[in-house]
Amino acid sequence: MFMRAPAAAEGERRRGLLFGLLIVVGAFILLTWLSSIWTEYLWFDSVDFSQVWWIQRGWSLVLGVLGILIAGLVLWGNLSLTDQLSLRYAVYLGDDGEAVVNFREWLEPRFHALRRIGILAIAVLMGVTVASWRDDVLLFLNARSFGQGDPLFGNDIGFYVFRLPFISDLLTWSFNLVAITALAVGIAYLVSGSIRFNRGSFPVVAQGAKAHISVLLALLALIRAGMYRLDTYSLLYTSRSPQFYGAGYADVHAKLPALQLLLAIAVLAAVVFIVNIWRRDWTLAVVAVGAWLVVAIAAGSLYPALVQRFSVVPRQLARETPFIEHNIAYTRAAYGLGNVEVVDFAASPNLTAEDIEANRPTIDNLRLWHSSVLLRAYSPQEIRSWYALDHVDSDRYLLDDQLAQVLVAVRELDEGNPDLPTDWQNRRLTYTHGFGAVASPAAKIDPSGGPDYLLRDVPPEATDPDLELTQPRIYFGETYQPGLPVVVNTEANEIDFPEGTSGSAFNHYDGEAGVPLSSIWRRLAYGFRYRDLNLVISSLIRSDSRVLMERNVEQMVHMAAPFLALDSDPYPVMLDGSVIWVLDLYTSTDLYPYSTPADLNAFRRVSRQTGLSTGLAYVRNSVKATVDAYDGTITFYVVDSTDPIVLAWREVYPDLFTSADQIPAGLAAHFRYPQDLFKLQSEVYRSYHVTDPATFFNRTDAWSISRDPSTAARNELLFGDSRDLTDPSQVSFIEEMLPYYLLTRLPGEEQLSYLLMQPFNPQSKENMSAFLAADSSLGTYGRLIVFRMPAGETVFGTGQVNNQIEADDEIAEQFSLWRGKGSAVIRGDMLVVPVDDSILYVQPVYLEAEAGTNAIPQFQRVIVVFGERIEWGETLDEALALVFGTEPAGPEEPSNDQVETLLRLASARFDQAQQALAAGDLAGYQQAIEEARDLVEQALEQVTTPSARSARPIL
């Protein structure tokens, strides 16, 4: 006979199941947390930075525990004291009101339990807050001097950068803790009856409770006095006037005295609260607090506003001149602009063909490839669907013993490609790395209108020994998804590179990167960390297998040094047969006195991928980090030993940093001035190139950024770009020029310099006023030079030159013809090129078929502008010859290399055609076949009629 279980037994069973489930869930969460901590330590240990992990986690733990103990003891001690001072047998005389009585009756039996829970919860929250101070505490303990004092108080700037944050943290935390304690104590006395309410009069407070509360209020007043002292320092970071930043006349002569008065009042209030212990009522304390509030409003806000309006505004320049001088000097120093060399540039109209030939090293290195255009032109070199060329970087190498600007892209594994197999073995064990890189000269075009490869194919083939790769495998790159691990050196073969018509060569990783999975405990830990059972049970994983936890070079560097900000653009260097990633790292602070913070407007041309934050007021590129693309070795080189912030961090983490004298000479020769820093500096310099306070105040010599005439799309989003809300794929790019790298010879110098250049215009004008150059050359790295155009003369800027080009009948007509044939005309970067004491403008033009997604852009023409002369040609030499009235060199005999290049390109197009046909893309197949046929015809022309090469456009 069926009998239903009693309801009590059913409920007991459900509670048991629920309790068991909670235990299982809790154990899983705990094991996951412990696994994350352990595996994180294993990663730090694998990159030889275990000391960094211990310091970071150890200090956070110590500070957190200390915060919990202090907060808990303060709360527990004060609440225990209420037990001693409360009325033991309260007689509830007086009219407390029904609400108070009900609250007391509800809380009294529960008070002690709630008190224990409350003390623990508040102490933990306060402890977590203290743990977050880790970096502030470490910098406080390792403070360095800047060697410069602030102009208002005379404190070394190091006080504000290193000391002030921790002092501010401590005062704020103490104020909150005492305030919470006072509130808890008040509630305790209310429950015990030591505080009673009477209608129409102040609450009646027992003497013991009154003394206790008065002491806490006095302590709050003293802490607030300390905070007023910090508020006086905060005047250095105010901006009462829109013309400049920092304390002005009203701040120094009105706000500062007001804060000093409030500090005195706060101390006096603390005395009043102590005196209040022996008074019968609270009248004196209430009067003191009321007077405090009145003075805070009148002296702290009203009086400075009146001084600003009636004393400063009528004669602002005279009043603010010394403070404007402070702002100019400290802003220039904070952004590294204090030692900019100012050079007068003649912008001579007398450049000749002989001058061009005398500057042949500059001419032969002018970058004729826009990075996004070249990236698409490189696309045949992706070879297989699992490879991707994502980014083109500019560098320089010795080619035939001559320094040349070279463009490089690394062939990384395309993890997001939908054609990759999705099963666990392929994603985690088989497809583990990219392979090789692609490189071409910035100034050379092959006969087909594509890049003239210096490094290509897989396995990689190099035309110069400096670019040869003996270890081309890319296990660590800039596009790999952060936190997505792979396991190497397993029983599974790792795809290495295509071999034959359809096969692949395989590899087993033999490097030292990663964490060895040498025990079942490690496999279990990683299984919990990544929620991946296969890491535990797979028979393909051996005891000598290694898990590469992090392969994104930016994330790796950030994990090791989270206190440094990353530049948005890591770049590869091919050195001694390996690929080495170089990452620029910054120290920054928003606490540099009188320095104008960089707002969103200053960041508008900076990539959104930057690690720098808006609001910074000091920045230095003090560290260069390198990551080996094969073995993952990370090295942090201190390249600016004058930066006090990096010196402080070096004291905190002595094993993390390496001295600049340990940088290999071959590596240092490839370091380049970072673009994120240069963009910020150029934005600040638009206003702060002026050192005269009156000129600065009146903005009569303010500059703007030159207009960008390029029509090539960018591959990155900047802060100033905006997306269409209805169609996020549509982006409105800012139309201001971005800085560009240029290998050139500066006026009066013999050697080539590798420069980062930025042209300027006068505010709201199109003519050029100056250009700023940052030197990346070995031996003169970091030099900043501004070349100023002659005052009173008009030197065309990029916008005016663009108008000249668009008004040229021949160029406009040819653009229309090309567009009429279904091609897109792409205009690359307009380069402002200093040649001796003259300015030359160079802009490449490319064509790209509009139909189909596999269209590959080709170089078509290059425009050269000098003064009023505008010419273009199929080569730079041809355009220069037309501008300067000389004949271009006659056609050369075709070389075997040129013919071979054309046939290689044709072969690549045939491969693309087969891929398109297999995918059912008939339009893509037809287009690739036509391009291949055209390339074969050009190769035949090279062999049979060399003279036709210069007359026939490459389409």
C-alpha distances (whole Å) from 792 to each of 346, 686, 768, 795 are: 12, 19, 12, 10
The better pLDDT of the pair 423, 941 is held by 423
Query: What percentage of residues in the chain have a pLDDT greater than 70?
Result: 88
Angle CA(575)–CA(579)–CA(580) in degrees, nearest 5?
Answer: 80
Alpha-carbon gap, residue 157 to 145, rounded angstroms = 7
Is residue 845 within 8 Å of 828, Cβ to Cβ?
Answer: yes
Q: Collapse the DSSP code of 223 into the 3-class scheme (helix H, G, I; strand E, B; otherwise coil) and give the result.
A: helix
What pLDDT digit, counting tens, does each position of 17-73 carry?
A: 777 788 888 888 888 899 999 999 999 999 999 999 999 999 999 999 999 999 999
Is 889 a residue whose pLDDT tops 50? Answer: no
Is 947 a residue whose pLDDT tops 50? Answer: no
pTM of the model: 0.88
Is 83 a residue whose pLDDT tops 90? Answer: no
Tokens 């013309």 appear where? Answer: 243
Going 556 to 561 to 565 to 567, the CA torsion angle's sign is negative
Is residue 692 within 8 Å of 700, Cβ to Cβ?
Answer: no
Query: What percentage of residues in the chain have a pLDDT greater than 90?
Result: 65
Is 883 a residue whose pLDDT tops 80? Answer: yes
Going 559 to 565 to 568 to 570, the CA torsion angle's sign is negative
Is 572 a residue whose pLDDT tops 90? Answer: yes
Q: Collapse the DSSP code of 889 into the 3-class scheme (helix H, G, I; strand E, B; otherwise coil) and give the result.
A: coil
- Residue 838: its H or E element: strand 838-849
Alpha-carbon gap, residue 155 to 153, rounded angstroms = 6
What pLDDT digit, counting tens, does each position of 704-734 carry?
A: 999 999 998 888 899 998 877 777 667 788 8
Confidence class for position 954, pLDDT limits 50, 70, 90: very low
Alpha-carbon gap, residue 811 to 872, rounded angstroms = 8
**For 322, what's the count of Cα atoms within 13 Å in the CB-facing half-sphere?**
8
The better pLDDT of the pair 297, 5 is held by 297
C-alpha distances (whole Å) from 469 to each of 31, 466, 576 are: 44, 9, 8
Could you tell me which of 514, 615, 389, 690 has the C-alpha nearest to residue 47?
514
Lowest mean pLDDT among 120-124, 196-200, 599-603, 788-792: 196-200
Tokens (6 digits) for 262:
């409030």
Tokens (6 digits) for 554:
């930016």
What pLDDT digit, counting tens, does each position of 586-624 carry?
A: 999 999 999 999 999 999 999 999 999 999 999 999 999
Is 902 a residue whose pLDDT tops 70? Answer: no
Tokens (6 digits) for 118:
């409350």
Residues shown for the chain: 955
Alpha-carbon gap, residue 471 to 632, rounded angstroms = 13
Going 200 to 202 to 205 to 207, the CA torsion angle's sign is negative
Mean pLDDT over 296-300 rounds to 82
Could you tell me which of 462, 466, 402 has the C-alpha nearest to residue 437?
462
Sequence letter at residue 255: K
Could you tell me which of 229, 187, 208, 196 has the C-alpha nearest to residue 97?
196
Is residue 592 within 8 Å of 161, Cβ to Cβ?
Answer: yes
Neighbours of 671 (CB within 10 A): 24
Preceding amide of 693 cis, omega within 30: no
Alpha-carbon gap, residue 782 to 125, rounded angstroms = 46
Could you tell me which of 374, 457, 385, 456 has the C-alpha nearest to residue 415?
385
